[in-house]
A and B are shown apart, each in its own frame.
Chain A
Amino acid sequence: MCKDCGCSIQDHDHTHQEGHSALHSNPQLNDAKTVEVITKILAKNAHEAGHNRAHFDAHKVLAINLMSAPGSGKTALLEKMAESGAFTFGVIEGDLETSLDAERIRAKGIPAFQIQTGSACHLDAFMVHKGLHEMPLDDLEVCFIENVGNLVCPASYDVGAHLNIVLVSVPEGSDKIEKYPVMFAKADLILITKTDLLPYFEYDIDHEKAQARRIKPNVDILAFSTKDEQSIQNVISWIKFKKSMRS
């Protein structure tokens, strides 16, 4: 039984040895000492992320973390997924302020829970854990976690998703992947969004693809526009394929 929340997930990867140190036999210090401790600084978050993944696994739900700069089209993508009716899903929304995004999702008949992070510029595994207990997981095939719009901070936090989709939109300019390599290195799928705007911007889509593959030669990349039905279908196919590989 999960001691943090009382939910029925067995506690799993307790890597106790990670947090313990070399001087176990004699923890009394008499004078200055150097001790090896070797602990992940975000060990608590990592543990909670594992717990979240175990929740999703127990319900056979594929969890996908959506990350991008503010306004790249994360919520717009989710609205299109809702309209397609291609699979059942819920959304855990993270924003500094407001419940606007959760309201947009609920307006499409999709369960959504809003987390307001206040001053935190990212979601962490503890916030997502709160959200996932509000999701009707038994009825869902996929759970999206829409992270706070930010191309830096969310990359440091495992939230317990199985996959990361990182979005970057045409108006942001085609230098974002080289400027934010840590975020794009986390991506299982990079979505280049708002491609309907390509005629109005000097945007070199091939350059961006090449930059992405310099970092991660096998990363999946799709172009996406809310105005291009085929591009919506391509994202749906990618998600359904990933889901089928985990059933």
Chain B
Amino acid sequence: MHEYSIVQALLEQCESHAQEYKATRITRVILKIGKLSGVEPYLLQSAFDAFKEGGICREALLQMELQNLVLHCEACGEDSEQSEICYQCKQCQSTQVRAVDGEEMFLMRLEME
């Protein structure tokens, strides 16, 4: 259940962005969740609902966009989006690839007032 520690990090970021913009509350939190980030969106949602109480996100909706793995191929130079978890270039079958998206979790946008 590392979703709890992830939500704590997320809420800290929300607080500090709200401060930067002198906002009084955040109404929507938009995340990008990589399919290889090791995070279960359902668990993240329930952790968010449990921890948002009393803070800047108390009335915020959590919106999550799932991100497939995207690879950059060092051999042919192409980027490819993988619908399955597979670290191999779809164009040229090379395994000289590096992930450029889909492994991390990002806070993308905040709606605040």
A85 at the interface (CB under 8 A from B): no
What residues of A have a CB within 8 angstroms of the CB of B10 in the complex? Answer: 41
The answer to whether A153 touches B38, judged by C-beta atoms less than 8 angstroms apart, is yes
**Closest A residue, CB atoms, query B36:** A182
- Count, A-B residue pairs, CB within 8 A: 106
**Closest B residue, CB atoms, query A22:** B109
What residues of B have a CB within 8 angstroms of the CB of A121 in the complex? Answer: 1-2
B51 at the interface (CB under 8 A from A): no
**Closest A residue, CB atoms, query B69:** A185
* CB neighbors of A among B1-41 (8 A): 1-2, 5-6, 9-10, 13, 17, 20-23, 27-28, 31, 36-39
Write the nearest CB–CB distance from A194 to chain B, whole angstroms. 25
What residues of A have a CB within 8 angstroms of the CB of B113 in the complex? Answer: 29, 31-33
Q: Which of B21, B37, B86, B106 contacts A39 (CB 8 A)?
A: B106
The answer to whether A216 touches B111, judged by C-beta atoms less than 8 angstroms apart, is no
The answer to whether B87 touches A216, judged by C-beta atoms less than 8 angstroms apart, is yes
Give Cα A182–Cα B113 distance, bound, in whole angstroms: 37
The answer to whether B9 touches A37, judged by C-beta atoms less than 8 angstroms apart, is no
The answer to whether B5 touches A28, judged by C-beta atoms less than 8 angstroms apart, is no
What residues of B have a CB within 8 angstroms of the CB of A40 in the complex? Answer: 104-107
Q: Which of B17, B28, B37, B112 contacts A156 (CB 8 A)?
A: B37
A133 at the interface (CB under 8 A from B): no
B92 at the interface (CB under 8 A from A): no
How big is the B interface, by class? 20 to 34
The answer to whether B38 touches A183, judged by C-beta atoms less than 8 angstroms apart, is yes
Give Cα A182–Cα B39 distance, bound, in whole angstroms: 10
The answer to whether B109 touches A182, judged by C-beta atoms less than 8 angstroms apart, is no
B50 at the interface (CB under 8 A from A): no
Q: A156-B38, A185-B85, A215-B87 are in contact. Are A27 and B107 (CB under 8 A)?
A: no
**Closest A residue, CB atoms, query B93:** A217
Indicate with 1 or 0, residue by residue over A184-205, a CB within 8 angstroms of chain B CB atoms: 0100000000000000000000
**Closest A residue, CB atoms, query B6:** A41
Give Cα A42–Cα B22 distance, bound, in whole angstroms: 23
Most chain-B CB neighbours within 10 Å: which of A31, A34, A45? A34
The answer to whether B5 touches A32, judged by C-beta atoms less than 8 angstroms apart, is no
What residues of A have a CB within 8 angstroms of the CB of B13 in the complex? Answer: 37, 39, 41, 43
What residues of B have a CB within 8 angstroms of the CB of A217 in the complex? Answer: 86-88, 95
What residues of B have a CB within 8 angstroms of the CB of A35 in the complex? Answer: 17, 21, 109-110, 112
Task: In the A-B complex, list the 10 residue pairs whose CB atoms are closest, starting with the nearest.
Answer: A156-B38, A153-B2, A218-B95, A155-B38, A41-B105, A32-B113, A216-B87, A182-B38, A181-B85, A29-B21
- A residues engaging B (CB < 8 A)? 21, 23, 27-29, 31-45, 120-122, 124, 152-153, 155-157, 181-183, 185, 214-218
14 residue pairs A–B, Cβ–Cβ below 8 Å: A32-B27, A32-B112, A33-B112, A35-B110, A36-B109, A40-B105, A40-B107, A41-B6, A41-B31, A155-B38, A182-B36, A182-B37, A185-B85, A216-B86
